[in-house]
Chain A
């Protein structure tokens, strides 16, 4: 069940109103016991409604409690003697003590309420903290990645191979940073257009005589990658690199009509 959707449907408000059928209500009661977030939502709805209703009361009805209690006692068969003076006094005393206990209870209620509010606030702060932590983690990951890329670009051992745009995309450009010692190639593909839906760029290592392409891999998730720098394995004795547009999943051999960029490795020792 999608809990958020369930909450947003408005069924919980009707549940608190008592506007659902008995069967629907029982169903909601079950969900509420199962999902704390649903229970919390119901609590909040109920608290808001209680406040709205309380606002519509003529005045504070605490003093009526004494009346109700005496009625209940009558029902239980407690015989009420005609009130003598001393009884009036005890009545007054008992009224005062009831009133005092009610005031005391209100005090406790307010304290409990405050504690609950603080608890809620704490929960909110903790959620915020978790969010910030995950943001920080994300930034740190991004920074590590950027540092790695920078280190590669600066490394004198790394061969930089510029690939120029071809007939199909004259404005396209790509740089390949090839670290021969670790057999890794970093493809900086910022200069490639977004691939159309269902298509993917495939990187090829080429030997020139005779012309033999070997697939190095795909630039997967092109749109989502912000840096547009992709690390691929390249154990080949590459003499040139090419990038073609292929159907999702890649192809066995490059589709030459869809050759976007091509570049030759210089100082080819």
Chain B
């Protein structure tokens, strides 16, 4: 359930509500940032900035526009992409575009208790390259359908349904 009441309290600048929302969402947002940056330290900085932005701009969120998670995602992806353009980061990292979330998951051994680690690892092993790329671009990198279709050379009309199949597999594994 989306915690609508907490969001409302956040918008009234209630710190307790902020803490709880942070607890609910920070780890997944951290993961999204990290899958763009592939750098723990830089990801930490961006995560901080993101949640400070959340506090400052929370009144601009409305459930009429979309999910709270989606709103956070947009802030996080934009902040992470901004970071990749910063000079200090560019000097540090060279071939960023080659990496994506699958690399992180494959090389990671300790997971948060909120994660069904075995399930996630199994999922990454099981799905095809096309699923990995579709999810990476649309979810982690925030591509539009059109951009993803051009990048992957898949017809625009099939992006939506293919992506659903990929997510269905994820849900099937996590539900068990």
| Residues on A facing B (Cβ under 8 Å) | 8-11, 13-19, 22, 25-26, 28-30, 42-62, 64-65, 67-69, 71-72, 75, 101-102, 105-106, 109-110, 116
Contacts and interface: CB of A to CB of B under 8 A. Distances in A.
Contact of B23 (A9, A16, A105): A105
B170 interface: yes
Interface of B: 1-2, 15, 19-20, 22-32, 34-35, 40, 43-44, 47-48, 51-52, 55, 63-67, 69-71, 73-74, 101, 104-105, 108, 110-117, 120, 123, 135, 138-140, 142-145, 148, 160-164, 167, 170-171, 174
Contacts of B115: 51, 54-55
A55 B160 contact: no
Nearest to A30: B64
Given A15-B66, A50-B28, A109-B24, 8 more contacts: A9-B161, A19-B138, A29-B64, A46-B69, A56-B31, A57-B31, A61-B30, A102-B19
Chain A to chain B: the 6 pairs with minimum beta-carbon distance, closest first: A10-B164, A56-B31, A53-B31, A10-B160, A57-B31, A53-B28
Among B23, B65, B142, find the residue whose CB has the most chain A CB atoms closer than 10 A. Answer: B23
Given A56-B101, A61-B47, A15 B70 contact: yes
18 contacts: A16-B70, A17-B73, A18-B73, A26-B65, A48-B171, A49-B28, A49-B69, A51-B115, A52-B101, A53-B32, A54-B27, A54-B28, A56-B34, A57-B28, A58-B40, A61-B44, A68-B51, A109-B114
B80 to A, nearest CB: 12
Contact of B164 (A13, A60, A75): A13
B164 to A, nearest CB: 3
B127 to A, nearest CB: 11
A205 B43 CA distance: 88
Nearest to A112: B1
Interface of B is mostly: helix
Nearest to B71: A18
Nearest to A73: B15
Nearest to A8: B164
A65 B26 contact: yes
Contacts of A110: 113
B135 to A, nearest CB: 8
Given A64-B47, A116-B1, A54 B23 contact: no
Contacts of A67: 48
Contact of B171 (A42, A44, A61): A44
B101 to A, nearest CB: 5
B67 A15 contact: yes
B6 to A, nearest CB: 11
B13 to A, nearest CB: 10
Contacts of A55: 31, 105, 108, 111-112, 115, 117, 120
A48 B29 CA distance: 13
B67 to A, nearest CB: 6
B144 A19 contact: yes
B164 A18 contact: no
Contacts of A16: 67, 69-70
A56 B111 CA distance: 9
A2 to B, nearest CB: 15
Contact of A51 (B25, B144, B161, B174): B174
A102 B18 CA distance: 12
B60 to A, nearest CB: 13
A53 B174 CA distance: 13
A18 B78 CA distance: 12
Contacts of B2: 43, 46
Contacts of A50: 25, 28, 69
A174 to B, nearest CB: 51
Nearest to B162: A10
Contacts of A61: 26-27, 30, 44, 47
